[in-house]
Amino acid sequence: MTRNLRMARFPPDRDDLSDWFADHEREWREGAAWRFAILDGAQMVGLVDIDEAANGECDLGYWLEQPVWGRGYAFEAASAVVRFAFETVVLIALNSGHAADNPASGRVLTKLGFRQISEAVVHSRSRGCDIRQIRYRLVR
């Protein structure tokens, strides 16, 4: 659900999504971002990614379609991408965060080994207002 994504539009905009997907190959090639589909059978039900690469660090993000929430997909997919980030990309650290009113995402992050480092007020494009965000960090 894009409502819980800070930088996404809600409701989603088809042109924005098309442009975003079209840019993935370039991002991968340049080492700027790596994005992975989460599949349930042959259907894409979510995405997990690492991006905003700088100084050996990236941001980890994920989203899932609401019908598959609570099935463990976020943890399973994010676990694989954390391993990829540290073993293949050889990052030093990953950062992540979630809206304070989305504690399930915080549980996924702490289960992955992330530690809460701060709280901040940030603008949520999807909600069109400022929200309280809880920030986390995982060091290799």
CATH number, domain with residue 108: 3.40.630.30
Q: Specify which residues 99 forms β-bridges with.
A: 133
pTM: 0.83
Identify the band that residue 87 occupies on the pLDDT scale cut at 50, 70 and 90.
very high
What's the rounded Cα separation, in Å, for the pair 80 and 73? 11
Residue 125: domain span = 2-139
CA angle 106, 109, 111 (to 5 degrees): 110
What's the rounded Cα separation, in Å, for the pair 87 and 66? 30
What's the rounded Cα separation, in Å, for the pair 44 and 62? 13
What's the rounded Cα separation, in Å, for the pair 114 and 139? 8
In this predicted model, what pLDDT tens digit does every residue of 46-72 receive, in sequence order?
A: 899 999 778 899 999 998 988 999 999
pLDDT at 60: 96
CB atoms inside a 10 Å sphere around CB 135: 17
In this predicted model, what pLDDT tens digit does every residue of 3-32 receive, in sequence order?
A: 455 444 445 566 666 766 677 788 888 888
CA distances from 92 to 102, 111, 130 (A): 27, 19, 30
Percentage of the residues of the chain whose pLDDT score is greater than 90? 60
Percentage of the residues of the chain whose pLDDT score is greater than 70? 85
CA distances from 99 to 30, 42, 69 (A): 30, 30, 16
Both structure tokens of 16: 């924005």
| Mean pLDDT across 119-134 | 89
Residue 43 pLDDT exceeds 60: yes
CB atoms inside a 10 Å sphere around CB 24: 14
Count how many domains the chain has: 1
pLDDT at 39: 92
